[in-house]
Structure 1
Amino acid sequence: MDGASKKQTFFNITLPLLKPTLFFIISLNTIRSFQIFAEIFTMTGGGPSNSTQTVVHYLYQTSFRQFEMDMHLQ
């Protein structure tokens, strides 16, 4: 595009072309993060300093280990 800035080129050309790929990668990573619970639970339990903590493992710890099953924010 003649006269378009780098910002306009990125948002009008590059990003729309990358959207299907980004959606696919984010979907696969989200699914995998839910599937990895068993490995993290048995091998590291969240790891040293929560380095292998995922959202699913955090929810498990909060709900069943600390018995904080309520939904209110503290």
Structure 2
Amino acid sequence: MLSKEKLARISELSKRAKSTGLTKAEANEQQSLRNEYIKTFRQSFKQQLHAVTVVDENGNDVTPDALKESKKNKNNRAH
């Protein structure tokens, strides 16, 4: 998760971009912060997905193979 300060800065730059525009340095900063936010979001989302197991009404594990493979690869990297 990004710090509150970085999230506030993203919001500030977004508001300024809509109202008065950004300098080149501010636009670069905004893009950098957005990239960092997206990277953090994706990592968090993958962690949430790796905690999921899909079970049908009969109690059978029907987790998609792609998710099972991703979990296996994650576990192999941790060792």
Q: TM-score range by the shorter chain?
A: 0.3 to 0.5
Specify which structure has the bigger relative contact order, considering alpha-carbon pairs within 8 angstroms and separated by 6 or more residues.
Answer: 2
TM-score (norm. length: structure 1):
0.40
TM-score (norm. length: structure 2):
0.38
